Structure 1
Amino acid sequence: MLFQGNISYCSSGMYSWSCLCHSLYRPGGMVDLQVGERFLNIDYAFAGAIAGAEAFPVIYLSYDLASMWSPKWKERMKSHFPHLVPLWDHITFIVPKMHKYAHRKQCCYHFSLLFKQGAAGVDGEGVERTWAEHNQLRGSTKEMNPGHHLDCLEAHFVNWNWKKQQDMSE
């Protein structure tokens, strides 16, 4: 539990995976964070989000810390999520275009979307643009118990996906 002043919180933030092109949130791809981004939390969200994606020939993982997250990724996946091992050949790590300038030059080239087939027109920042709206929930969810907190967030993100799908069909 995170303690801020005399108020205790079960979560210090959240992490989520979404579709690069459409900003639709992946089912099972959200986790609460406890004092910062720990890679185990990110791995858990990834394992939930990638479920059912076996049919995709290429999976681009856009994460601002991809250069730090990916080196030991296979080891962590092998020990915690062995069912994901067959997907390794389909996965390519990238850093969103806005975040790449905070990385070393070699990271900029290795993790750049510009050099990935079929992805040059995508910036990888879709999930970042959505947080302006989602952060409005913070005031009402921060004092909820863990179960109600998750139910409220799930309802919100399901509604977000529904609205996005409706807008795309028009």
Structure 2
Amino acid sequence: MTALLPATDPDKIDQGLLEMVSRMVSYDAMCGWAVNLVTRFEKHHPELVPLIKRIVCLIPLVHVHNHKDNCTYCFASIYIKHAGHFHGETTEHYWPECNQLGPQTRQMNNGHRQDTLIDHHSDWNWKKVANIEATTLENDVAYAKRLFLHKRAHFQGLSQLYADQVPTWDKMDRNSHVKGPDKEVRCVYRHDQQKVPSQSAIYQFLLYSEAHRKEKADLNAAGLGKVAVFLNEGLNIARLQLELEALVKRNRLHPLESERVQINADREKLRTRISKWRSLQKAQMTSIGDQVLKQSVSKAFADAPESERLFLPSEFSPEERLKFDLITLARAEFQLREGAAFDALRSVRNIVKTLGTIGHEKKTQDYGQMRNTR
């Protein structure tokens, strides 16, 4: 973020302003480029070292998502002080338009290709100059003020909502630090992977809480342990329903006899599992018995148990949860679903890492026509 200085005598430039202005440099591979930045300037341009040390290195917000997690907390502008909403991608706004020239210039000779690209670049630059009145500094400042008021109101609302936590948060170090033998970045904005819950861990915690709870709470006349068993099984059944629905849709597009047999077998297993689970639901959610019975009598999903409604607490609106006395059950379900969400994230990360490793090994080991041809 460079200062916008008037074109006047350099001696009249406010040096104090120059000292206050943050200098931020954004580059796609800044995490690698910045490692030896100061060292190399000390060797080749020592007179510029004081200026270089004041530069804050960033990675554009779109590109940083393709980097390691460490880069996000060290180089993404959203975690850098004074960076604001700077995204660093403005220079690449033109690429989607420029990419359309690929098919047109593919078969041109070198001179014609360069002339065509120059013409389109010049047209883009001319449009920016022609529309400069709509993007003046005055308009930008006015918009920044409006945005500031909006963000400040939102920030004040959050501060009031979590007023009891603000003093504790203010004492926390907001800087990123590399700690441990794994050289992973630690900061207040990053979740500790060891503390991220899983559905299994939360399920065991709820069971443990029931076994060691001294004060019994009214949980629809049932203990927390029974609630955990009921909800955990319900979430597992919901997951099986989604998997079976996906299999049915795939078979409709590409019918296979083997898949049809598998679908019938899976439906029978799911139907039996739901039937057993309904007995638990009858004890835990007595207030919705009429709705469950109505669905059962209609037999609308007799042949498609994957579409049958389970009537979990999350399927009801807040008003309905209050009406049917499902608040406590909904809280326990929320905990289990949070763990399930983190389980899904771990699974996605493992898949991405596996595919990335396979791709890397293929590039280094499986090269040539013979190894890539069946």
Taking structure 1 as the reference length, what is the TM-score of the superposition?
0.49
Choose between structure 1 and 2: higher strand proportion: 1
Choose between structure 1 and 2: higher helix proportion: 2
Taking structure 2 as the reference length, what is the TM-score of the superposition?
0.25
Relative contact order, CA 8 A, sep 6+: which one is greater?
1
Which one has a bigger Cα radius of gyration?
2
